[in-house]
Every structure is written in C-alpha cells, then in structure tokens.
Structure 1
C-alpha cells in the first residue's frame, strides 16, 4: 500500500480528544434504552410546540417494536421509514431496531419510480409513511415486497389547537386530505399505538456483523446503492462525534434538527448523538428560513449541525439582525464544501464556532473535521477523527502519493461500511484491503490537514487542463453579490468540456454576465475562467441541501441532443 506516512494529524489534537476510543460493543438502540433509564424526564423532542420526554419516546418505540413483530417482522427484515423530521421518525427508527429489523431510510420526496426502485432493491416488507404519501406507497406496493403500510400524520404529534388546524393547512398546501382506515394491510399510527402491547421479543445482536441500516447513496452519479451499515459502524461514529465536540455536556444541550434523518449525516450528528447524550432535539420537518430564525431565537439551541446552503439561507435573510442567534456554540457543516466567507460571517453573527467536516454515506458518515475550538483552517476538511486512518492514493494503483500531491482520498476505521447491498462487484471496487476509496480527489499537507479539490467524477478536463469546480466556486462565493454558485463541466465540441457557472444573486444585487466574467478573470487562471454563465433564481438540491451538479450537466446534454 505504499510508504507509511506518519499520522501527523495527532500533533494537533487537543488533550481532550483521544487518539483512540474504546467503543461500546452494543446494539445502536441501546442508546435509547440507556438514556430513557438515566434521563427519563429529560425532553427528547420539541416539535412545533409539542414536547416528548425520553421515557415517552422509548415507550412508543417499544409499542412500535411489538406491533412490527405482531405483523410478522423477523430479525433482519427491512423496514422502510419514509418520514421528514417528526417524532414518528425517531420512534419508528429505534422501534424497528428494537424489533430486530434493519431500517431503510427513505426520502419522502421520492417519486413513485424512485420509491419502487428502493423498495424492490432493499426488499422492505413494511413501510412507515405520512398520510399524504400513502397514495404513492399504495401505487408501488404490488410491484415490491411490501406487505404492510403504517401511516401517520403530522397532526398526530401537534399540540391543541394546532392538531385541529393542520388538516386545513395540509389541504391548502397539498390539495389533498387522506383519511386512511385501520384495516387489512394498512395500519393507522394512532390506532397502532393504542393496540400495541409494548412487549416484544429481544434478539441477540452481533454489533460488528448485524446490519442496523441500509442507507441509500444519493444517486447523483448513477443508481442509488444500499450501503450496509452495522450497529458498530453507527455506534462508533456517534461516539467519535461526542469525543470531537468535547465541550458538549450530557443532558444539557439543545440541538437544532434541520438536517433530515433520512440522510446519514442528520441521522448520526443529530438523532443518534442526541439520543446517546440525552440532548433535546428541535425537529424541523421542512427548512424555512423564517421558521428557523424564530426557533433559534425562542428555543436557544446550542448545537446546529447543518449544510452550507442552510447557513447561507439564514445569512441572506433581510431581517437577520432582528433575531438573537447567540445561543449557538458549535456547528459542524457537512454534505458540501463550506465557503470561507460563509464560515466567517456565520461566526460573526452567532459568536459560535462553525467548522467544515467531511464524510460519506459509506462511512456512517464522518471521517474528518476541523477542530471546533482550536487550530481551525479555512478551505480544509480538517483532520481524521480518532481511530480513522486516511491516505491519498494514486488513482487506480493504490500507490500512496507524496505530501501535497493530489490523489484519491481513502479512509479506514470502525465506521466504514460492510459493503453495498447485493453488489459484491461494486463492494470489491470500493473497499480495498479495508480502505474505502472515496472517489474524492484531494491531498494532505505537511501537518496532516486534508483538502478536497473535487469529486473524481466532477473534475473538468478542458483542452487538456484539469479544472476542479470547487476552486472556481470558492472564487465565486467571495463575490459579495452572489448568494449561491455551482460550477460544472459541460460538453464542448472544441475543448471536450468547458466550464459553466450557475449563479444565484443576492436579493437586489446587480451583476451582469460581463461584470462576473471580469471578476473571474481577475481571480482565476485563464483556463479556469467559466466560458459560460447562467443566472438562476434557485439551484437544484438534494434534501440535505447539496447542490445537484450532475442534474445541471444532464440538462446541458439534453439541450445538445435536442439541437441535433
């Protein structure tokens, strides 16, 4: 595997962060059992005015587990959870694990085609979904392995009188009111909890081998793959999170839960970590800038894991100064590169710390992060976490690259997946001697800090030059008139590919294509300057806020085909 380079990143670890951790060899759901035992009356969830204690969440999870087993769930059977951030999403996740099931997190925004693909691929027998998603689940049921549908509603956990008003809001927003009946293979959440005994069969779990989760990759580079994450994968990454943010205290933190739990980052950094540390979760089912600013002002969260687009959205709000964001102590940004300008502005507004981290679905997800309270650097993903090794390999040869030279980043550690579900060949191509090949191009500096230059598949090769979109995007974000930007390589008959920038301007900003081009020419080498610009009102994103560069490239290819 090449010459061993010293784990020089350890030199920067503060004394509070261990180099290695003794992980709890236990099932993931033990986090909930232990917290409900030690902090039964601590508020676990705040949801649109309704609050639930850890004891209440645990009791509901036990009822859910017993009902799943009543429906015939056996150890290892898959349970799809198709919910936004609601109390039901936490209860069904841990309840499925208590029952011996494997959770399949399912994006509520999926179309029927996407849903059918995931349900078929995972073999899920049961799905939990919102009432407004019931028609979608019913329409694909006969073409999948689904046997039962459990249906719930936002209003099920709303306080009075919101629970009475919400159906009218729902009808206005979605032009539909679904009133499912508790019969046959359709099971209504509220009736289920009334009928369930809460008594369930406990299964023996081998944390190292048994799956807790099938987490599907975003599909931005092809068909989504089911990532097999074991109980130990998720337990270890959650405990790494705890050690990294060493100032966070058990039972005392309040976490803003904007990141969706059906995304692995929100699931680990918000839900699992909160349950382990008895933190209060403020659940936000849908990101809305006004709602979030009001929540921060009133609920005073101390921790705020997020994505750059979320922080950008808040910073660009015209009435930002009307809200007090000073309760926020620490934010770990993931899912996409964090522009330096955004980091600096957000820290100035909150007085807290915002640092960039890095990870993948295949690593549960976090492998690297900047130190939260010391030695932080802009433009880097930071240092490998405890027990996480990282190297830079020459693509396709696994020869280790010298310090400072770009190659493919590879990682190894207890949080690395078991493999891809039913895809042995892809598993073999991605896991090499225990190393996970990330597909991200980057380098390590003299001090052990890692830098991402771009996705292997996103690199633009124009006229023989290698151009990394992130480098161009960093320059665009430094322009104070730009709210959001993404750069992609689009087909070009002469250069093979050429650079195109898609830009969203801040409200009221006046910037022409000529002005933007001049700005780029002043700040970039000539071959990196975008050859085309497109101003948009918004950019396509995943549910967690990652900009879908691939979708923009596909749009360009389609335009070309239509011109032929």
Structure 2
C-alpha cells in the first residue's frame, strides 16, 4: 500500500493501520468496572461517583427502562445539561441497545417537537427546568412521545398526564443486575443531529463501531504527550454535542478515565475545576481560550499542567493561539471533525504542529480534495476544493433521510461541504464552508480569511463577515465588529487595516459595529443569524421605499 503524505509526521506510538476492539461498548465499560471499581468515574458539584456506583445506577435505570417498555432500537432522548445523570443515562441506553438521541436542553418547543418527531423518540429524560415543554408535548398526545422522566423529580399533581415520572421514583425498585441484551457493532448507538444551518437538521446515525473507532483514534493521536493511563478530562463543552460527548463519555469507556463535569460552564468555574481536580485533558472551544487570555491570573494557574488541550468546533485565530501559549506554555492541538464523522478525523501531531492547519488525518482515515462543482475530480496538492473523508469514523447514513444521505455520503466518502486544501506534507487547511464563500466579481472570498485579519486588529474584540447582495459585484463583503472596551474604531480605520493584508475585492465595503456577535450553542459564530439580520434590514428598507413611492404617487 502506498504511503500517504502525512504518515511520516505521526507522533511516536501511532500505529498506521490499527485494529479496533470488537467488544461492544457496554462490555468495555463493565471491564473497566471490574478492573478498578473504586476509581472515581465522575466528579460533579463536589460529588464523586466511582465506576462501581455508576454501573449500579446505570443498571437500575436500564432495567427500569426495560420494565417501562423500552426495547432495543427504541429512541431515548437525553435532554439534559452536563450533569452526572447525563452520563448514567448514556450508559443505561448502551446496556439495552436503546438509541440515544442527543438533544439540546435549551431548545424551545418547536425545536424539540421536530427532533422527537423525526427520531421517533418515545422516552425523554429531562431536567425539571425544562419539564414543562415536555409535559405539554405529552398532554398534546403526540404519537411519538410516551414517557417523560424528570430529574430529580416532579411534584405530585393530579393534573399531570400519564407517563410523567420522577427519576428517583422511576429507578427506586429497579434491580441492579446487568441486562442480557446482545449488541451488534453495526447497531446504531447515537443519533447526533446536525446544526441545521442550511435546510433541515438531520440525525447522523453513529454506530457502536463508529464510537469505538473514534475513541481508538483519539487515544492513538494523544498518547505520545498524554498520560492516557490516568486520563482525567474536564468537560466544559455540552455533552449533547458530538465534541463533548466523544471526548468525555466515549473516550472514557475505552480509557477508564475520570470525567470532571461542570453543570454551569463559566470561565470562573473552568479555572476552579482545573485547580481543584487537575485534569490532564481539556477539550475546549475558541471562545473559552479567548476568555482565558484576558485573565491576569492565567500564567500562574494550573492550566499549565494540562497535557492535552484540544480545540475544535470553530476556527481558532493564530494570533490567539500564540497569545495563549505564551501565557501558559501549553500547546493547543487543533483538530477537525463533524457529526458525520462521529467527531474528529484529523488533528495536529504534537512534534510538528502547523498553526492554521487542522492537522493530519487519523490512522485508518483516507482523505482527498475534489472540485467544487461536481465533486468528481480529485485535485492535486495545494489546489482548493471540497474536503472529503473516508474511514471507520464516518457514518453510513442520516436517519430516515435517503436523499440527503445520497448527497453527502458517496461510495463511503463523506463530502464535508468545507473548502480547503492539503499541503505538500499532507496537512489539511480549512478555508471556509461552501455555503459561506462569497463571490465578488467572480472572485472567491473566504469568510474565515477576512475574519482572521479583522480579529488580529488590536482594538477589535471579535468580528465576522458575510456576503451581501451588490448590484455591481454580485456580492460584497460586510463586516460585523465588536470593539474592545475602552477602545475606539471607525469604519474607515477597519477598511484601511484590511487593505494592508487583503486584496481589494476581499476588503469589507461595509462595517457595522455591534455590542456582541451571535453565536450557536457550541460557540461558533452564527453567520446564519448575521445574514438573517441583514436580510431583515434590507426588507425594511425596501418596504420603506415602497411606502414612500406609493405616498408620493398618491399626491
């Protein structure tokens, strides 16, 4: 087999063609319980739960679900924030082969209705803070929902519909033995819904085999610089998101580590948890890295003891990486992945990182760049096109969306919708999303490139650009800018700064100053919200012009 460009840059210990365990995840967890039953599995709000205690709790919930009528293949929506019951619920579902539906607990009724209905979820495990929406759905006798399990409990109320039960009551008399249910590695384990930034949100069918491949790949890529035998991970990203789910819950099933859960994710709580528990792994997001660099106590904090600080979910400006590393001496490892790849399929090796790159493909992952039109022509090194991945982490289908599956998943290859290129050493560079690319007078403008320049300005706190209609260019670049507190900046100054680093057609022609930028629930810049804001503004202008011309004509 021909050696791939990137293979020579793996860190020591990485196996080029690793074989994966063929033991179901629940059996792997049971093995960890038997190996070290008293090892802390979960740290959460001063509570310590051992592997033995967690397994007993998961068995009780699993058997309670079976007694309530939940069967293998049924969908169970976990609509919870980061709390210990989230992890217990995941383990319970894995034991009985129920398909986990990861759901954002902050969703409103419309969003929950869609996700429950699309997945066919009959059971919901939720917090008492969002029980009302789920009770409403149950009262409306929606055919997909049969029971709502509320943490910690529901108040006794004769008006509650049948099917509402408190978590403690639900598991109270449930047995602690292991359910005897066979799990096949090709069975779907989790439905991870895409963000739905374009079109309809789709459920990515992540199998048990996919999960094992992700955990194995994660271990392979971080073992050189991380003490994986004493894996202790800080969970500061939502576990209902694929990034948080995989790096905390799933990786621990294989590694037998400990999870530090933050029910309320704030920068103060992150620092406190790092000082108290001293994690050696922290999967972060750019917004958290940015916030930490503003803390004067960062250089003397225990953040510098972290061995593996990974960052994903959104681009991280090179200037921010350098600033953080100068303050902590902790290297930031950028990676790349998506719901369709069950999380990461690429990351930077520690020995040879390339800032601005998302790294090299994981072992057993193949990669190519194809043309942007039909996606049928493989492009050579250095040429810009759509990034495609193939391997054991890649899902086979979207849940009940065959047309969407056919578009994104072709012959085992996942067409990412991301634009980028591979350099002469096999490192991957992501430039933008296909849908975010701006075409000005026939020239391609990548939003991330302009973002990076804007964010490097000493007076700019954060910035982002989108394309807006233009009568001459077709599209033009508009920047949305948040100025740092105590600083001043004009539109002309922003444009002048950009002209020093960008070709004329890439320079924003319009600049709007804002107090804050909209972000998604995983802290990505929400360009969809910015475009919608701009569309509403243009519509209001058109409406005003129409009304003015009508009144003028009437005169």
TM-score using structure 1 length = 0.91
CA distance in 2, matches of 1:296, 1:505: 30
Is the Cα–Cα contact under 8 Å of residues 215 and 226 in structure 1 kept in the other structure?
A: yes
Could you say what secondary structure the match of 1:29 adopts? helix
Deviation at 1:489? 1.2
Q: Provide the residue aligned with 1:325 in structure 2.
A: 303
Deviates more, 1:306-315 or 1:70-79: 306-315
CA distance in 2, matches of 1:144, 1:110: 20
Cα-to-partner distance string for 1:488-523 (whole Å, 9 max, x where unaligned)? 112333322221122223333333322222111112
Q: Provide the residue aligned with 1:416 in structure 2.
A: 394
Q: Provide the residue aligned with 2:442 in structure 1.
A: 464
Compared CA separation, residues 275 and 143, structure 1 to 2 (3 A): same
2:87 to 70, 87, 90: 90
Is the Cα–Cα contact under 8 Å of residues 357 and 427 in structure 2 kept in the other structure?
A: yes
Q: Provide the residue aligned with 2:133 in structure 1.
A: 136
Deviation at 1:321? 5.2
| Higher alpha-carbon Rg | 2
Deviation at 1:441? 0.8
Deviation at 1:397? 3.8
Compared CA separation, residues 506 and 295, structure 1 to 2 (3 A): farther
Which has the bigger relative contact order, CA under 8 A and spacing at least 6?
A: 1
Q: Provide the residue aligned with 1:186 in structure 2.
A: 164
Is the Cα–Cα contact under 8 Å of residues 328 and 350 in structure 1 kept in the other structure?
A: no
Task: Give the superposed CA RMSD.
Answer: 1.9
2:329 to 351, 354, 371: 351
1:226 to 190, 203, 207: 203
Task: Say whether residues 1:527 and 2:512 are aligned partners.
Answer: no
Task: Say whether residues 1:107 and 2:104 are aligned partners.
Answer: yes
Cα-to-partner distance string for 1:244-295 (whole Å, 9 max, x where unaligned)? 1013334423211011111011111122112321222111133212221222
Deviation at 1:36? 1.4
Map 1:244-323; keep pairs closer than 5 Å.
244-246=221-223, 247-317=225-295, 320=298, 323=301
Deviation at 1:43? 1.0
Q: Provide the residue aligned with 2:194 in structure 1.
A: 217
TM-score using structure 2 length = 0.93
Deviation at 1:319? 5.2
CA distance in 1, matches of 2:420, 2:49: 44
Q: Provide the residue aligned with 1:37 in structure 2.
A: 34
CA distance in 2, matches of 1:427, 1:152: 36
CA distance in 2, matches of 1:479, 1:125: 51
Deviation at 1:51? 1.2
CA distance in 1, matches of 2:26, 2:323: 38
Q: Provide the residue aligned with 2:495 in structure 1.
A: 517
Q: Provide the residue aligned with 1:67 in structure 2.
A: 64
Deviates more, 1:434-443 or 1:535-544: 535-544
CA distance in 2, matches of 1:387, 1:506: 44
Deviation at 1:191? 2.0
Cα-to-partner distance string for 1:168-206 (whole Å, 9 max, x where unaligned)? xxxxxxxxxx73669831121122232211245322222
Cα-to-partner distance string for 1:499-556 (whole Å, 9 max, x where unaligned)? 1122223333333322222111112111111112222222222222111111111121
Could you say what secondary structure the match of 1:190 adopts? helix
Gaps of 5+ in 1: 157-177
Residue correspondences, number? 536
Deviates more, 1:484-493 or 1:399-408: 484-493
Gaps of 5+ in 2: 543-555
Cα-to-partner distance string for 1:405-454 (whole Å, 9 max, x where unaligned)? 00111100001102011111111111111111111111111111111111
Is the Cα–Cα contact under 8 Å of residues 226 and 307 in structure 2 kept in the other structure?
A: no
Return structure 1 stretches of 4+ with deviation > 6 angstroms.
none
